[in-house]
């Protein structure tokens, strides 16, 4: 008999971006959590910032679901693993419901909903609209019959009469329940930056907007109806766990992870993969901490430009990292981490000294250089991937490298995306790889094992050297 699992679940989708999905999702999670329910948040796509807010509100780590990175079995595994012990899973979509990377809608929110057999709550921005809402909802209902629209949430409703007209149109022409109607309210808006919301760790005053969204959800959403829709989602076949690549170490290595207000872009699966491969993670505040005794360093993305002065002020960390790199310390850096490894960072007319591992300078401005999914091919000399290995990832950066030496070694050829110069990404120096590309461990399962293996080799090399010195 086939084994199955069931997690009550809904996808928050919309006909187009900027319809209010994030506000609705945050308010819904906060309201359900206030009822005492365990809510597991998920975010469709590769985003880091929205998941930070969703996880903060839910009190559970938010996980990403991405059909570009993951096949159907892996998507279900992520739901199964992340949703364990939860009363309901709330999955925030991205862009429009059917918007993907190609004409077929590959990677869309709809594809996630189908893979997980999850009903969709359709958030419709009702500004300057009445009866036309029925045409929009009907289009979403019938565009792909495999996508189940469970209910509609009206957003930016003007007045009670406006709401009555909208409800009547949806219920009469579409046969769907309206499970919420949110009035216009600027108090719910969360300030954003060029990549989306302000990261959750930067400004706790923004919590006030979350509280307003929770109160709005409690007043204007039919929480019981939404839970009934989520609980009606069918059981799914129990997924097989991802195939492990490599052998775990018998003795853990210590991997330092920059994790603070400047560097906060980490998928939880990446950190878990390192631990499962044999790492003990040591979190480092790059704004204040010295470099501890570690066998490797992982520097994720974030907004180092916002904290350039503080990063520059922590001179001991910058110099210690540069010195240890010369000794062979393995370092894996993504986007903001690549910037930190540069010689200097210029932002808003100010220049800040960085670690100086790579001899180039970085300028950050408002012009997008790379934004979207990436497909890379590993080049000869890449310390973490064999030549020809395909890597899927994503990028979003507003920075450019200057004074890049012509003899610089690159780790990847870019087949999709931009990277450093449109054709290449990933700079290599000794055991350091710094790239604009962000990877997800479920899409690159060998990354963690190889990185931990590099850390173990470095640790063993240090021990042998110290033992030799002790014998002298």
Q: What's the confidence (pLDDT) of residue 461?
A: 94
Tell me what pLDDT residue 193 has: 45
In contact, 151 and 178? CB cutoff 8 Å: yes
Once rounded to an integer, what is the mean pLDDT over residues 416-442? 97
Mean pLDDT over 194-201 rounds to 52
Q: Which of 243-257, 348-362, 403-417 is most confident?
A: 348-362
- Which is more confidently placed, 161 or 188? 161
Listed by start position, the domains of the chain span 4-237, 253-463
What is the tens place of the pLDDT at every residue in 130-175?
999 999 999 999 999 999 999 999 999 999 999 999 999 999 999 9
* CA-CA-CA-CA torsion sign (202, 205, 207, 213): negative
What six digits make up the tokens of 470?
């002790």
- pLDDT-derived band of residue 467, with 50, 70 and 90 as boundaries? confident
- Computed on alpha carbons and rounded to an integer, the radius of gyration of the chain in Å comes to 24
pLDDT level of residue 200 (50, 70, 90 thresholds): low
Instruction: Specify whether the CB–CB gap between 28 and 40 falls below 8 A.
Output: no
- Angle of helix 132-143 relative to helix 160-174, nearest 10 degrees? 40
* Active-site annotation, residues: 335
Tens digits of residue pLDDT in 81-116? 999 999 999 999 999 999 999 999 999 999 999 999
Q: Which of 318, 52, 303, 373 is nearest to 201 (CA)?
A: 52
Q: What is the pTM of this model?
A: 0.93
Q: What is the DSSP string of 183-230?
A: EP-GGG---EETTEEPPTTT-GGGHHHHHHHHHHHHHHB-HHHHHHHH
Helix (H, G, I), strand (E, B) or coil at 88: strand
Query: Do 4-237 and 253-463 show the same overall fold?
Result: yes
Three-state SS for 307? helix
Give the mean pLDDT of 259-270: 96
Topology annotation, domain 4-237:
Rossmann fold (3.40.50)
In this prediction, residues 434-462 reach a mean pLDDT of: 96
Q: What is the mean pLDDT of the chain?
A: 93
How would residue 1 be classed by pLDDT, with cut points 50, 70 and 90? low
pLDDT for 195 = 37
Q: Any idea how long the chain is?
A: 472
Q: What is the pLDDT of residue 34?
A: 97
Could you give the CA distance from residue 145 to residue 137 in angstroms, rounded to a whole number? 13
Stretch 419-445: mean pLDDT? 97
Q: What is the pLDDT of residues 203-221, one digit of tens each?
A: 555 678 888 889 999 999 9
> What is the CATH code for 253-463?
3.40.50.880
Is residue 352 within 8 Å of residue 308, measured between CB atoms?
Answer: yes
Place 470 in a pLDDT band, splitting at 50, 70 and 90.
Answer: confident
- pLDDT of residue 198 exceeding 90: no
| Confidence grade of residue 194 (pLDDT, cut at 50, 70, 90) | very low
């Amino acid at each position: 008999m086939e084994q199955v699992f069931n997690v009550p679940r809904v996808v928050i989708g919309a006909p187009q971006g900027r319809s209010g999905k994030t506000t609705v999702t945050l308010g819904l999670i906060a309201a359900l959590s206030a009822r005492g329910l365990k809510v597991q948040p998920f975010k469709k796509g590769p985003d880091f910032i929205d998941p930070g807010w969703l996880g903060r509100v839910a009190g559970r780590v938010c996980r990403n679901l991405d059909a570009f990175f993951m096949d159907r079995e892996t998507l279900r595994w992520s739901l199964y693993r992340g949703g364990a012990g939860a009363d309901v899973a709330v999955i925030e979509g991205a862009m429009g419901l059917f918007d993907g990377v190609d004409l077929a809608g590959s990677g869309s929110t709809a594809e996630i909903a189908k893979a997980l057999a999850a009903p969709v709550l359709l958030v419709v921005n009702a500004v300057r609209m009445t009866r036309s809402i029925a045409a929009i909802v009907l289009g979403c209902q019938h565009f792909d019959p495999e996508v189940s629209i469970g209910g509609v949430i009206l957003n930016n409703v003007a007045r009670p009469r406006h709401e009555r007209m909208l409800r009547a149109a949806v219920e009469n022409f579409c046969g769907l329940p309206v499970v919420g109607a949110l009035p216009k309210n600027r108090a719910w808006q969360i300030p954003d930056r060029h990549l989306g919301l302000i990261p959750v760790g930067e400004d706790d005053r923004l919590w006030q907007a979350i509280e307003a969204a929770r109160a709005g959800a409690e007043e204007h959403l039919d929480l019981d109806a939404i839970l009934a829709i989520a609980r009606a989602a069918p059981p799914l076949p129990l997924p097989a766990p991802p195939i492990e690549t490599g052998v775990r170490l018998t003795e853990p290595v210590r991997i330092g992870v920059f994790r603070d207000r400047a560097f906060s872009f980490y998928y939880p699966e990446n950190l878990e993969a390192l631990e499962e491969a044999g790492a003990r993670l040591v979190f480092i505040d790059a704004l204040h901490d010295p470099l501890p005794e570690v066998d490797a360093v992982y520097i994720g993305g974030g907004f180092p430009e916002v904290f350039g002065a503080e990063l520059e002020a922590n001179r001991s960390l910058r110099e210690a990292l540069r010195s240890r790199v010369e000794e062979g310390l393995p370092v894996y850096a993504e986007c903001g981490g690549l910037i930190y490894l540069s010689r200097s960072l210029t932002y808003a007319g100010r220049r800040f000294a960085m670690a100086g591992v790579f001899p180039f300078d970085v300028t950050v401005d408002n012009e997008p250089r790379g934004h979207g999914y990436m497909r890379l091919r590993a080049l000869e000399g890449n310390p973490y991937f064999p030549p020809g290995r395909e890597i899927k990832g994503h990028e979003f950066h507003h920075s450019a490298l200057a004074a890049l030496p012509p003899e610089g070694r690159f780790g990847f050829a870019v087949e999709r995306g931009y990277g450093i110069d449109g054709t290449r990404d990933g700079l290599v120096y000794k055991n350091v790889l710094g790239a604009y590309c962000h990877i997800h461990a479920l899409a690159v399962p060998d990354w963690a094992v190889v990185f931990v293996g590099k850390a173990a080799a470095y640790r063993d090399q240090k021990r042998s050297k110290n033992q030799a010195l002790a014998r002298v």
